[in-house]
């Protein structure tokens, strides 16, 4: 198969259903309908699809629009290329049925293949759920599900299953006291569960840009399976890093590899590296580069299992000529060594990427075959993190990914440290620049950005200089920050920049809902005063003076605020006094789940509330305020007098991360995040960009 750069999708099996030239043509047509923001909406598809040869003779534009409307309530929803391909295959199959089976026999194969993939994924995920949630107090009455039925889609409609599955993937993400678990839920309660599930899924790293609560309520197979696939993948790959499994240092070539490079790899890449490490030991001559075509003959699996569990080896596995039979023997071998069987031989032979990745991850969990020699892993165990920086990195990474950027960020610091500078290696966009363009549309001058791979270091610096320039235009505090600091991976300076970017985005969203703000800025003090006023309006007296107020640690302030904006959402029988650390954690965990349940997209941890992390306290309060303004239009209108009362706050400049303004007390507590002694001689000024083409921020 010929190769063509830049035209790929995450689902290799889906891509394999198209010839390269057909795939490339579809990509070209899809890109051609992008709007000025680089997005394609569902409503853009009918006029595009009606011109495609496979559909033009079977459907009119109106019919295509009607059929898409059956899956999408809002035609203004954004749609990605992969979803477009699935919709195209679906319509192509319908076109074939309509024509009586006389045209384009390849469409039958494609549609059949797509249906087979859905059925295979459904069966695999059902088996996974049956295993991991078998003892759940609520769900066990519905388990085990039948993999051949639609039990999965029906059970998922009330939202409980997804919430429970997220907690299996990342324990403690959802406070299960916040889940509505009655046997019969009304529409409101179902919607709350799905909202909680979607916001929690984002908080563990899932991409849910094109998924809404209605999709889950209706149990739409493709979208639901896509979300479940991401959740299970996160669960199975959780230990594929040096922090959880320091023994992974052994996979470095001859012990001389770059440990920092290993830390920068995405979990699935680490899994491939681990697999190839053992295959090399077993005498397998090929290098496995994917979980699809490279493993579909099952030979790599046979070698891998013979290395890891030779006591269960079956000589017939490698001798058999039939790939399906070999795959069956491989699964028998894996089962004997303790792996639960929820994959079929056909899944391996078909090369379904997600299912094969899950199989290899399961093998890793059961028996990774790595050394326990303390001398070999001592360096990895000595790796230490600044706890606060790690939390901040996690928060900003999840926030960036939640914006729907095309290139998933696995680790902010390591991506930067390796010279990636958040650069996309597949398309023409770079994640940090893309985030800037989403937060401040039109701010990025893509003509001045150099397409990767970048051979010359100064080109990397130029790209990052544009990042700094845009920050300056947005009135960020960028003292001592230059493009080279991003290239070099200066953690403190990068975190400081990302915080200002995230804060700017939140405040702009709030400002957009203040119909009478008269263009004035919204500051930290403005948000605090709104929250105090909201609580006071309910007859309660709890107030805070700043986002570093120690009383916040009890959690009672946020519980009262949440109750003020949505009285029915807080169950006060579950609330503690918040005096001991244990009581504070219970309240903090409950706060986060309740906030997500009403619709807040937040990425903080319970510890952030307990320790009164000022940045996270602002994001939480601002998110609650944003939700309240979205759902209470009268609040936007009646706030005019309030805005005047705090006019001095609203007109103050954007806060400096150096803490020079009184309103920026949030950032003044952490000056080390913006001024690094080693970089104190680097000062950024607008004069550096005098010769660059100017851009404007709308």
* pLDDT tens digit sequence for 228-272: 999 999 999 998 888 888 888 888 765 545 676 777 788 999 999
- pLDDT at residue 481, rounded to an integer: 81
DSSP secondary-structure letter at 78? Answer: B
* DSSP for 252-283, written as a single string: SGGG-S-HHHHHHS-HHHHHHHHHHHHHHHTT
Which of 124-133, 207-216, 286-295, 645-654 is the least confident region?
A: 645-654
Helix (H, G, I), strand (E, B) or coil at 385: coil
Lowest average pLDDT, out of 109-113, 157-161, 187-191, goes to 109-113
End position of a domain, from candidates 380, 403, 432: 380
508 with 420, same domain? Answer: yes
Does pLDDT of 662 surpass 80? no
Q: Hey, how many other C-beta atoms are within 10 angstroms of the C-beta on 32?
A: 10
Q: Which tokens go with 33?
A: 């309908």
Q: What are phi and psi of 195, to 5 degrees?
A: -65, -45
556 and 504 share a domain?
no
Helices (H), 257-386: 259-264, 267-281, 299-308, 316-319, 323-336, 345-350, 353-366, 374-381
Per DSSP, 9 falls in state: -
Query: Which of the residue ranges 175-189, 208-222, 374-388 has the most confident prediction, judged by mean pLDDT?
Result: 175-189
pLDDT for residue 595 is more than 90: yes
Give residue 108's pLDDT band: very low, low, confident or very high (50, 70, 90). Answer: very low
Q: What is the pLDDT of residue 253?
A: 65
**Secondary structure letter of residue 474 according to DSSP:** T
Of 557, 609, 586, which Cα lies nearest the Cα of 177?
586
What is the distance of C-alpha 6 from the center of its chain?
A: 21
257 and 374 fall within a common domain: yes
Q: Check whether residue 73 and residue 36 sit in a common domain.
A: yes
Tell me, what's the pLDDT at 536? Answer: 95
Find how far residue 625's CA is from the centre of its chain.
24
Query: Which of the pair, 684 or 183, is modelled with greater confidence?
Result: 183
Tally DSSP H helices, then E strands, for the chain: 35, 0
Q: Determine the distance from the C-alpha atom of residue 275 to the mean position of all C-alpha atoms in its chain, rounded to a whole number.
A: 25
Q: How far apart are the first and last CA of the chain?
A: 45
In a domain, 107, yes or no: no
Task: Report the alpha-carbon distance of residue 695 to residue 469 in Å, rounded.
Answer: 10
| DSSP one-letter string for 210-243 | T--HHHHHTT-HHHHHHHHHHHHHHHHTTT-STT
pLDDT at 639 over 90: no
Query: H or E segment at 680?
Result: none
- HSE (CB half, 13 Å, CA atoms) of 206? 31
Regarding whether 505 and 417 lie in a shared domain, the answer is yes
Determine the average pLDDT of the residues in 6-11: 53
**What average pLDDT does the structure give for the chain?**
78
Q: Is residue 493 part of a domain?
A: yes
Residue 90 lies inside a defined structural domain of this protein: no
Residues 623, 602: Cα–Cα separation, whole Å = 7
| pLDDT for residue 513 is more than 80 | no
Confidence at residue 414, expressed as pLDDT on a 0 to 100 scale: 57
Residue 381 pLDDT greater than 60, yes or no: no
Band (pLDDT 50/70/90 cuts) for residue 126 is: very high
Is residue 302 predicted with pLDDT exceeding 70? yes
Q: What does the pLDDT read at residue 341?
A: 79
| CATH number for the domain that contains residue 175 | 1.10.418.10
Whether 133 is covered by a domain: the verdict is yes
Query: Does residue 617 share a domain with residue 544?
Result: yes
Residue 250 located in a structural domain: yes
Last residue of a domain, one of 56, 79, 102: 79
Tokens of 532: 């105090």
Distance separating alpha carbons of residues 624 and 622, to the nearest angstrom:
5
Place of tokens 């890109």: 31
Please tell me the distance from the alpha carbon of residue 350 to that of residue 406, in angstroms, as a whole number.
27
Q: What is the pLDDT of residue 326?
A: 94
Residue that is written with structure tokens 């998110």 in the block = 623
Q: Looking at the structure, do residues 227 and 138 belong to the same domain, yes or no?
A: yes
Q: Output the CA torsion 503→508→510→514 (10° steps).
A: 150
Q: Which of 220, 237, 254 is the last residue of a domain?
A: 237
Please tell me whether residues 443 and 546 are part of one structural domain: no
- Domain span including residue 411: 386-514
Q: What is the pLDDT of residues 436-463, one digit of tens each?
A: 888 888 887 877 776 555 666 666 777 7
Least confident of 34-38, 190-194, 269-273: 34-38
Average pLDDT, integer, range 15-24: 67
The mean per-residue pLDDT over the stretch 30-42 comes to 83
Q: How confident is the model at residue 543 (pLDDT cuts 50, 70, 90)?
A: very high
Residue 678 banded pLDDT, cuts 50, 70, 90 = very low
| Same domain, yes or no: 271 and 346 | yes
C-alpha angle 504-508-510 in degrees, rounded to nearest 5: 120
């930290």: which residue's tokens? 524
Domain check: are 355 and 445 in the same one? no
Specify the range with the lowest mean pLDDT, choosing from 31-35, 140-144, 524-528.
Answer: 31-35
Nearest partner of 467 among 491, 451, 446, 492, judged by Cα: 446
The pTM assigned to this predicted structure is 0.74
In the structure encoding, which two tokens stand for residue 281, read together? 């030991």
318 neighbors 299 (Cβ within 8 angstroms): yes
What confidence tier does 643 reach under pLDDT thresholds 50, 70, 90?
very low
Q: Is the pLDDT of residue 494 over 70?
A: yes
Question: For position 21, what pLDDT does the model report?
Answer: 63
Residue 691 lies in a domain: no
Within 10 A of 261 (CB to CB), how many other CB atoms are there? 12
Task: Please check whether residue 189 lies inside any domain of the structure.
Answer: yes
Q: What percent of the chain has pLDDT over 70?
A: 76
Q: How far apart are CA 317 and CA 596, in angstroms?
A: 50
CA–chain centroid gap for 38, Å, is 20
Tell me whether residue 669 is in a domain. Answer: no
What does 525-547 look like in DSSP terms, one character per residue?
Answer: HHHHHHHHHHHHTTT-----SST
| Claim to verify: residue 195 and residue 297 sit in the same structural domain | no
Q: For 36-45, 298-307, 340-349, 402-411, which range has the lowest pLDDT when averaged over its residues?
A: 402-411
Q: In terms of pLDDT, which residue wins out, 585 or 462? A: 585
User: 523 exposed, middle or buried (CB, 10 Å; 0-12, 13-18, 19+)?
Assistant: buried
Residues 532 and 509 in one domain: no
**Which positions ≥6 away from 181 have C-beta within 8 Å?**
138, 160
Q: Give the count of domains, the chain.
A: 5
Q: What is the mean pLDDT of residues 655-668?
A: 34
The answer to which of 57-61, 81-85, 639-643 has the lowest mean pLDDT is: 639-643
């Amino acid at each position: 198969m010929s190769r063509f750069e830049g035209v790929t999708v995450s689902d290799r099996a889906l891509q394999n259903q198209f010839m390269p030239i057909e795939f490339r043509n579809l990509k070209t047509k899809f890109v051609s309908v992008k709007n000025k923001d680089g997005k394609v909406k569902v409503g853009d598809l009918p006029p595009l699809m009606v011109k495609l040869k496979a559909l033009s003779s079977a459907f009119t534009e109106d019919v295509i629009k009607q059929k898409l409307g059956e899956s999408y309530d809002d035609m203004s929803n954004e749609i990605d290329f992969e979803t477009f391909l699935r919709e195209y295959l679906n319509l192509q199959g319908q076109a074939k049925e309509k024509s009586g089976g006389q045209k384009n026999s390849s469409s039958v194969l494609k549609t059949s293949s797509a249906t087979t993939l859905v059925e295979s994924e459904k069966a695999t995920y059902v088996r996974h759920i049956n295993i991991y949630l078998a003892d759940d107090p609520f769900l066990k009455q519905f388990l085990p599900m039948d993999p051949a039925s639609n039990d999965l889609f029906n059970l998922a409609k009330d939202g409980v299953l997804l919430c429970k599955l997220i907690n299996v993937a990342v324990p403690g993400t959802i406070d299960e006291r916040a889940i509505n678990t009655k046997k019969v839920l009304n529409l409101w309660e179902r919607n709350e569960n799905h909202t909680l599930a979607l916001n929690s899924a984002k908080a563990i790293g899932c991409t849910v840009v094109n998924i809404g609560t209605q999709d889950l309520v209706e149990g739409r197979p493709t979208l639901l399976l896509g979300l479940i696939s991401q959740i299970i993948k996160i669960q199975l790959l959780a230990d594929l890093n040096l922090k959880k499994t320091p023994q992974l240092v052994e996979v470095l070539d001859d012990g001389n590899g770059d440990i920092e490079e290993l830390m920068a790899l995405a979990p699935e890449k680490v899994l491939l590296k681990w697999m190839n490490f053992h295959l090399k030991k077993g005498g397998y001559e090929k290098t496995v580069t994917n979980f699809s075509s490279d493993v579909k003959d099952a030979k790599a699996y046979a070698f891998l299992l013979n290395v890891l569990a030779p006591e269960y080896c079956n000589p017939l596995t490698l001798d058999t000529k039939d790939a399906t039979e070999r795959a069956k023997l491989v699964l028998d071998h894996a089962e004997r060594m303790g792996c639960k069987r929820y994959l079929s031989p056909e899944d391996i032979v078909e090369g379904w990427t997600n299912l094969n990745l899950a199989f290899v991850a399961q093998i890793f969990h059961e028996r990774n075959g790595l050394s326990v020699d303390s001398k070999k892993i001592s360096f990895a165990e000595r790796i230490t993190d600044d706890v606060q920086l790690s939390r901040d990195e996690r928060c900003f990474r999840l926030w960036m990914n939640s914006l729907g950027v095309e290139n998933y960020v696995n680790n902010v610091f390591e991506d930067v440290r390796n010279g990636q500078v958040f650069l996309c290696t597949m398309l023409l966009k770079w994640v940090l620049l893309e985030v800037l363009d989403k937060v401040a549309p039109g701010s990025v001058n893509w003509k001045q950005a150099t397409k990767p791979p970048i051979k010359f270091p100064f080109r990397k610096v130029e790209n990052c200089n544009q990042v700094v320039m845009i920050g300056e235009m947005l009135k960020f505090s960028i003292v001592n920050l230059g493009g080279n600091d991003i290239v070099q991976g200066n953690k403190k300076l990068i975190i400081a920049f990302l915080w200002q970017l995230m804060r700017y985005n939140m405040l702009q969203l709030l400002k957009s809902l203040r119909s009478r703000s008269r263009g004035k800025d919204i500051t930290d003090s403005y948000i605090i005063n709104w929250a105090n006023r909201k609580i006071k309006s309910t007859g309660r007296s709890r107030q805070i003076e700043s986002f570093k107020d120690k009383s916040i640690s009890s959690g009672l302030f946020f519980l009262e605020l949440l109750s003020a904006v949505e009285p029915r959402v807080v169950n006060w029988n579950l609330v503690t006094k918040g005096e001991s650390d244990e009581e504070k954690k219970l309240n903090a965990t409950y706060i986060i789940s309740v906030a997500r349940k009403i619709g807040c997209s937040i990425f903080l941890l319970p510890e952030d509330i307990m320790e009164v992390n000022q940045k996270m306290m602002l994001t939480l309060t601002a998110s609650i305020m944003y939700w309240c303004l979205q759902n209470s239009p009268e609040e936007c209108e009646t706030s005019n007098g309030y805005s005047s009362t705090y006019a001095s706050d609203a007109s103050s400049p954007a806060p400096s991360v150096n803490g020079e303004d009184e309103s920026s007390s949030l950032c003044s507590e952490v000056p080390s995040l913006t001024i690094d002694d080693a970089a104190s001689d680097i000062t950024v000024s607008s004069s550096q960009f005098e010769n660059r083409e100017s851009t404007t921020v709308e």
